[in-house]
Amino acid sequence: MRRTGLSLVALVGLVTAQTETPSYLLPNNTGVSVYSCRDLSCNFPNTSICASESEDGVPVGVGFAAGAANLSSSASLSYTLATGLEEPGFTNFGIDEYEFSDAQLFVGIDPSLSEDDYPSGCVLMMQYQAQTFPWQDMDPDSPAGRNSTSCSPLGVNCQAYLTAMIMGFNDNTRSSNSSSSDDKCTRLTSYVNTKLQGNALTCGDGESWIANLMNVTGGALPTKPSSNADNLNENLGGLDCYPVKPADYQLNKVAEMRHLYLKDPPTSDADYYSNIFAGLSGFTPVITVLYEDDQKEEVMDYGVQFSCLSTSQPNGEEMMTPFEGAAVAMPRGAGVISVLASLLCVALTLYM
C-alpha cells in the first residue's frame, strides 16, 4: 500500500500546480451501461417501483448498472439508484412551494462471495443544489451520458479534487467505542461535507461545479452476505425480481438523500436555467472507497472509484426535465439568486 503524508492542501495543490495529475489521483471510473426497468426479464410484483408510473408531481425513477466498481480482477459491485421509492413528490413540510423526493442507493454483491471476501469500504452519493447534477452543456444522450456510468460530466479535476480529499481523511477522532464500519463512513461523509462547504471556489481547478453547492451522504458497504428480502423496501421489488444486474446479485441499501425542488417552471430562459437546476433528470455521482482491511486504516491503491448514475421512468422513458411538469426546479418569475438561496436554506433545514 502506498502511504502518503501529504495534507489535503498539498494534495489539492498537486492537482492544480502540476501539468499532469499524479497517477494515484487520476479518475478511476469504469464506464458501463445504465439499465432501466424495461431491461428486466423477470416478472416484478405489482408493488414494485418498476410497476408504477411517473406522473406529474409524483416522479419515480430507477437506474442500475453491473460492474460499476471493481473489487478485484474477478469481482465487482453493482449499483441501483431509485428515486421516489418512498416519498415521490412529497410536500408536507410546511412550505407549499417546494416538493421533495427520496433518492436511495443500493449496492449489489455477488452472493457467491464468502464473508471473508466481502469488501471493506464506504459509499458516498452526491447532489448539487439539493438536486441531481445538471448535464450542463453536455448532451445527455451522448455515449458518456445518461446511459453510462461515465463520470466525464463531473470533470477530471473535480474527481481528482474529491479523491485527494478522501485520501487526506485522517480518522483521528475514532475511539474504541466507535470503530464500526458505519461510524467510520459517517465520519468520512461528515469530513467531505465540511471540506466542500468550506470551499467557495470550484470543485477542482478549471471546473464549473461550485464546491459548496454540493451535498454528500454515505454509508458502509455490507460486511456479510444477506438475502434481498432481509433489508429492502417492498416497493423495490420481490418474488426474486429486483432492479439489479446480474439478476442474482444481493442488494443492500447503503445511502439515501432527499432531492428538493420547486413546483412551477420558469416561463422563459429554460436553456439557461437547465444548466443550473436539474430536478431529478440529471446524474448522481457515486464514490466507492475501498479499504485494505476491516480496520479501514488505509485506502487501497486506486481504491477511490467514481460511478455516475441517472434514472429513467419505470417505462424506460427519460426522467422529465425541470421544465416538463414533474420535478420542476424554478418558480415563475423568480430570479436565479433568490431561488438558489431559498433552495439552500430549505435544504439545510431538511438535513439538520
pLDDT at residue 333, as a whole number: 37
Give CA–CA dist 65/81, Å, rounded: 9
Torsion of CA 266, 148, 288, 89, to 10 degrees: 30
Torsion of CA 13, 124, 2, 205, to 10 degrees: -20
Cβ neighbourhood burial of 206 (10 Å; 0-12, 13-18, 19+): exposed
pLDDT at residue 25, as a whole number: 77
pLDDT at residue 180, as a whole number: 63
HSE (CB half, 13 Å, CA atoms) of 336? 10
Question: What single DSSP character describes residue 327?
Answer: S
Give CA–CA dist 86/60, Å, rounded: 9
> Quick check: 283 and 65 in contact, CB under 8 A?
no
| Helix or strand run (H / E) with residue 163 | helix 156-167
**Which residue is associated with the grid cell 438561496?**
341
Give CA–CA dist 112/71, Å, rounded: 14
Residue from 214, 250, 285, 235 nearest 82 by CA: 235
Encode the chain (352 residues) as per-residue pLDDT tens digits.
333 434 444 444 444 444 466 777 777 998 999 999 999 999 988 889 998 876 666 788 999 999 999 988 778 999 999 999 887 666 655 666 778 889 999 999 998 888 778 889 999 999 999 999 999 878 888 888 889 999 999 999 999 999 999 999 987 665 545 556 678 999 999 999 999 999 999 999 889 999 999 999 999 998 877 766 667 888 899 888 999 999 999 999 999 999 987 777 565 666 777 778 888 999 999 999 999 876 667 898 889 999 999 999 999 999 987 766 444 433 333 444 444 544 555 444 444 4
Give CA–CA dist 6/8, Å, rounded: 7
pLDDT at residue 332, as a whole number: 32
Question: What single DSSP character describes residue 213?
Answer: G
Backbone angles phi, psi at 194, to 5 degrees: -60, -45
